[in-house]
Structures are given as C-alpha cells and as structure tokens.
Amino acid sequence: MELVFVHWLIKKGREPDFEKYWQQMTIHSDEGLYREILTTPNKNSFDPKFQTFTLENPNYTTYINIGIWESLSHFDKAIAKYFPNTTTEMKEGKTIHAIELEDFEFKLRERIVLRKVIDRGSELPNADIRE
C-alpha cells in the first residue's frame, strides 16, 4: 500500500474549475486505487486546539489530495496522463525548465509518497464518486 499526498495550489476564484477538473480525472476500479480524498483547510474551525499547522497562503487556495494506492507503479500508470508536460533546454549556458500548468493552477502541484508505519481504525465510509 502506498499513500500519495498531493498539494494543489489553486488561483483564487478558480476553485470551481479545479474541483470540476479533479472530479473528471478518471481512474478505473482495476487501476489499483483504494481511495482518494480531496480536502481543503476548514476555514470554519477556529479552535487553536485543532489548527496548529497551516498550508494556507493569501495568494492561492490550498487543496490536499490524499490517495491510497495498491503500489506506486499503479499510481504512476493511472495518473501519468495527468502529469504536466515538461521540457528542458540549454540556452547560453543555462538550463531552462518549462512546465505546462492547468490554467487554474497558481503553481506546480507538489506531491510526496508517504510510507505507512502503522495504521488503525475501521472501514472507510462509502466514497462520493464511485469509479
């Protein structure tokens, strides 16, 4: 099992466009996805007991996607079509990297694969979107 954490940085006012895009990203049930949860910081929770960490910035809206996958190769195969196109070229002794972003993205999404150490709990509730 692999956990993939994706930090999306979305232009203010473009949140509906991003949410529509995310919902239309097709992943079939046989592609190794156990569950994927799209989240955003809860702005209605002001209790400092629960707000000890921030990912927010006044320049963009933060979304965190948490994916639980059978393996990293399953994730790569299913999601590769959604990775942004990149190019690299040399010009006057400098390397130029170009990345194509979706129009609603403030900055390139960031991702990290997390290693499960130990888990606990019970079954997850049914997903909102069934593949």
DSSP state of 15: H
21-60 pLDDT, tens digit per residue, is 999 998 888 899 999 999 999 877 778 888 888 888 899 9
Predicted pLDDT of residue 105 = 97
Domains defined for the chain, CATH in brackets: 2-114 (3.30.70.100)
Beta bridge partners of 7: 64, 110
**Which tokens go with 9?**
């940085």
75-112 pLDDT, tens digit per residue, is 999 999 999 899 999 999 999 999 999 999 999 999 99
CA distances from 87 to 8, 97, 102, 124, 128 (A): 21, 6, 16, 40, 36
Mean local confidence (pLDDT), 105-122: 93
For residue 22, give the H/E element and its range.
helix 15-24
